[in-house]
Chain A
Amino acid sequence: MLKINQLHKSYPIGDSSLHVLKGIDLSVEEGEMVAIMGSSGSGKSTLLNIIGMLDEADSGEYILDGLPIKNLTEKKAAVYRNKFLGFIFQSFNLINYKNALENVALPLYYQGMKRKERQEKAMFHLEKVGLADWAKHLPKELSGGQNQRVAIARALAANPKLLLADEPTGALDTTTSYEIMAFIQQLNDEGKTILMVTHEEDIANMCKRIVRLRDGVIMEDKKVEQVRAEQYV
């Protein structure tokens, strides 16, 4: 699915620079569900953003689905993001003046899909996250958990191969977190590859593999026995 070799990334800070990723080697197979953990500032988000082509590495190799990601034009990157990747953010990042259905339909709009087909498809995904009745509501009229479910539906709308989530449960309470995790596990069961950043051990244990970062390198990379989230809901 994806393969990373000796990836480096540093941020310029004034005259000096902050070396955040110091040679990451990582490969993820199709159907995996990986948790990326590490202390604050260890570079988890930076890594995820590079994988999501929202940011660029300074050096190293990154191959996504057999495609070397290097010096892509912004247009090409946009097409790959649209086709391969789905994003779930900690702060949802829904568009505040669009209702749930319109938000979910947005990636399909950028795929050039016809309005009617788009709305049907968006509705299908909203149903899947249990929010069909809330389709016409604006994000401010929804709870955090509902908003994150809208965001998940949006990430799924374009049927991506790889789902990237940066602390998807970071803004939610425990019960809601488990609800969201149940959804994500279900998606993984259906075959989606999932990469998520999290701080919480219990959330990480609901994945199938945990990668720990420290000081810009991978300190530990192990498979774990998946804890199912449904039992807590």
Chain B
Amino acid sequence: MFRFLFDRDTWQEVFDSLSKNKLRSILTMVGVWWGILLLIGLLGSARGLENSFNRLFGSFATNSVFVWGQSTSRPFKGFQEGREVKLSLSDAKNIEKNVEGIEFVLPRSQTRVTATRNFLSGGFQMAGDYPLLDQLQKKKLIHGRFINQNDIDDNKKVVAISEDAYKQLFEKDEEAIGKYIEINGINFTVIGLFEVGNVNMGPSTDMHIPFTTFQQIYNRGDRIGWMMITGKPEYDIKQIEEDSKLILKNLNNIHPKDTQAFGSFNLGKEFAKLTGFLIGMQFLTWFVGIATLIAGVFAIGNILLITVKERTKEIGVRRALGATPFEIKRQIVVEAVFLTLVAGVLGIITGGWILILLDHFFGQGADAAIVNASVSIAVVFIALLILVALGTLIGLIPAFKATSIKPIEALREE
């Protein structure tokens, strides 16, 4: 068999018979070429979309839920309905201790402030935060650093500001790190300058100061604005949300069926929806790609069948000269495999070009719709393998047809 594949005559035969029917060979190849091109193009763009999605959300702990206090809608244990609900640091500690599957509980407080520097001033959203925030919602720092544990421990008056806040409070190109800004009448040292991301969790924040400093300045004591509860990856965030709320209701003397007392936003749930959409799209892509591939291979088989019909007399002659059915089948199968292989490789090459073009037009910049559109080598290889296997099987059908009749019947064909 090896000798056969490296024999010049084998390929002479293949080229002769394929080039004798140029149009048909080309049409056949277009079928497979188009199938594999589509498969790669679709899979690549789906992957690109997924990548861009991951880039957008990748810096977040997505298995999270935000919880904040509202007001009660039911009377309970002697309390009137309509009571304002305030979350506290001990609530957060309790959840962290008692709910199963918790990774972190991050308390935050937020308020609107006016900041001034020399003659420049503006209104900003300012939050009191722990260093952990930087871990859950990665801040892209341009200069300096984010809040650290030291700042927390010593109630330091330091602030990390956004690019937008910088533009409002500083002259162009002015160094900000180490300078003072006045926030609601108190001087803070700027320690960091961060970029504003495309996606924000919760209200957007222009300034971050240490949580402890915030609580002290605004006299919040134990009270916090809201908390971000992050579950371990393997835990269901919806369950964590329910468990946490139940504990919060218990701690704050709220009716267990009170749905108004706490507001929440389940990031994990929303994220899962998007992920589901992406998976659905990938599935569709595979489906479309493979269906097209199969259609292409069937086109090849069909055309080979016609070829064999036309070549029946020739096959009759060959058999009269002593060709065995195996030799004839082998020849036709090699033709089929060769066609599918060449068309498939061309499809892979052009598919690659398409992905390069996609990257060129849609994949540039930070907020690109398609990021690193690509297909794994394994997928391409498997697709090619399927293609060649199908090509062989289908090539065998006409080959069997051509050798199942008596040589004389083949010879009589005109």
Contact = CB atoms under 8 A, between A and B. Distances in A.
A-B interaction: yes
Interface of A: 49, 52, 54-56, 74-75, 78-79, 81-83, 87, 89, 93-95, 97-98, 106-107, 109-111, 115, 154, 158
A82 B322 contact: yes
Contacts of B321: 81-82, 87, 106-107, 110, 154, 158
A54 B324 contact: no
A13 to B, nearest CB: 15
B322 A55 contact: no
A95 B406 contact: no
A74 B403 contact: yes
17 contacts: A54-B320, A54-B407, A55-B407, A55-B408, A75-B324, A75-B325, A78-B324, A81-B319, A82-B321, A93-B316, A106-B321, A110-B321, A110-B322, A110-B327, A115-B7, A115-B9, A158-B322
B11 to A, nearest CB: 12
Contact of B406 (A56, A83, A107, A158): A56
Given A56-B406, A115-B8, A95 B322 contact: no
Contacts of B7: 115
A108 to B, nearest CB: 9
Nearest to B314: A95
The interface residues of chain B, by DSSP majority, are classed as helix
A141 to B, nearest CB: 16
Contacts of B16: 97-98
Contacts of B323: 78, 110
B141 interface: no
Query: Which of B8, B313, B316, B319 counts the most chain A CB atoms within 10 A?
Result: B319
Contact of A97 (B8, B20, B316, B403): B20
A87 B320 contact: yes
A78 B328 CA distance: 11
B318 A54 contact: no
A109 B327 CA distance: 11
B406 A55 contact: yes
Interface of B: 7-9, 16-17, 20, 313-314, 316-327, 403, 406-408, 411
A79 B320 CA distance: 10
Given A54-B407, A55-B408, A109-B9, A78 B317 contact: no
Query: Which of A49, A78, A97, A111 counts the most chain B CB atoms within 10 A?
Result: A78
Nearest to B323: A110
B325 A79 contact: no
Contacts of B316: 93
Contacts, number: 66
A71 B17 CA distance: 33
A175 B89 CA distance: 118
Contacts of B322: 78-79, 81-83, 107, 110-111, 158
A166 B390 CA distance: 42
A130 B322 CA distance: 25
Contacts of A94: 317
A79 B324 contact: yes
Given A87-B320, A106-B321, A75 B408 contact: no
Contacts of A115: 7-9
B180 to A, nearest CB: 91
A154 B320 CA distance: 11
Contact of A52 (B9, B17, B320): B320
B317 A93 contact: yes
Closest 9 CB pairs of A and B: A82-B322, A54-B408, A78-B324, A110-B322, A107-B321, A55-B408, A54-B407, A93-B317, A75-B324
A158 B408 CA distance: 20
B313 A93 contact: yes
Contacts of B411: 54, 89, 93
A10 to B, nearest CB: 15
Nearest to A74: B325
Contacts of B8: 115
Query: Which of B323, B326, B407 counts the most chain A CB atoms within 10 A?
Result: B407
Given A54-B408, A55-B406, A75 B317 contact: no
B318 A110 contact: yes
Contacts of B406: 54-56
A74 to B, nearest CB: 5
Contacts of A93: 313, 316-317, 320, 411
Contacts of A98: 16
A95 B318 CA distance: 9
Contacts of B320: 52, 54, 81, 87, 93
A75 B322 CA distance: 9
Contacts of A78: 319, 322-325
